[in-house]
Amino acid sequence: MAYDRVITACDRAATAVATTPAGWRAVFHDETVRAQSILIELMSVLQTEHADADVAEMSRQLAALYRFTIDQLVRANVEKKAKHLGPARSTIEGLRDAWVVGVLGQ
C-alpha cells in the first residue's frame, strides 16, 4: 500500500503540472513531499545492521533505491518539473511489482 501511495502521489503531481489548474504548485509540492515522507518512513524500518548478512544487504540496497527516489522527488519539487517524477515512479513501481510477485505470488 505504501508503494501504491507513492505512485499515486507521483501521478497526482504530474497531473497537476499537465493540467495547470490554479494552485498546481501547491498540489505538486504536497504530493512530492507526501511521497518523500512515505519513503523516509519505509527507510526508518530497514534492518541495515541485521545479524543476517543477507537481510542487512537487502536493506542497504532498498535504502539506496529509496534515497535515489527521494532525491528525484526533491529535485522535481525544487524545479517544479515533472520529468524527475518518471524515474521516481518507475523505481517504486518496480519494487511494488517485485513485492507482489515475490511475496504475494501474484
For residue 82, what is the domain's CATH number?
1.20.120.340
Q: Exposed, middle or buried, 102 (CB in 10 Å: 0-12/13-18/19+)?
A: exposed
| CB contact at 8 A, 38 and 3 | no
pLDDT tens-digit map of 83-95 = 999 999 999 999 9
CB 76 within 8 A of CB 13: yes
Number of domains into which the chain is organized: 1
Q: Which residues span the domain enclosing 78?
A: 2-98
Q: Examine residue 103 and state whether it is found in any structural domain, yes or no.
A: no
Residue 41 domain flag: yes
Q: Is residue 27 part of a domain?
A: yes
In a domain, 90, yes or no: yes
24-35 confidence digits (pLDDT tens):
999 999 999 999
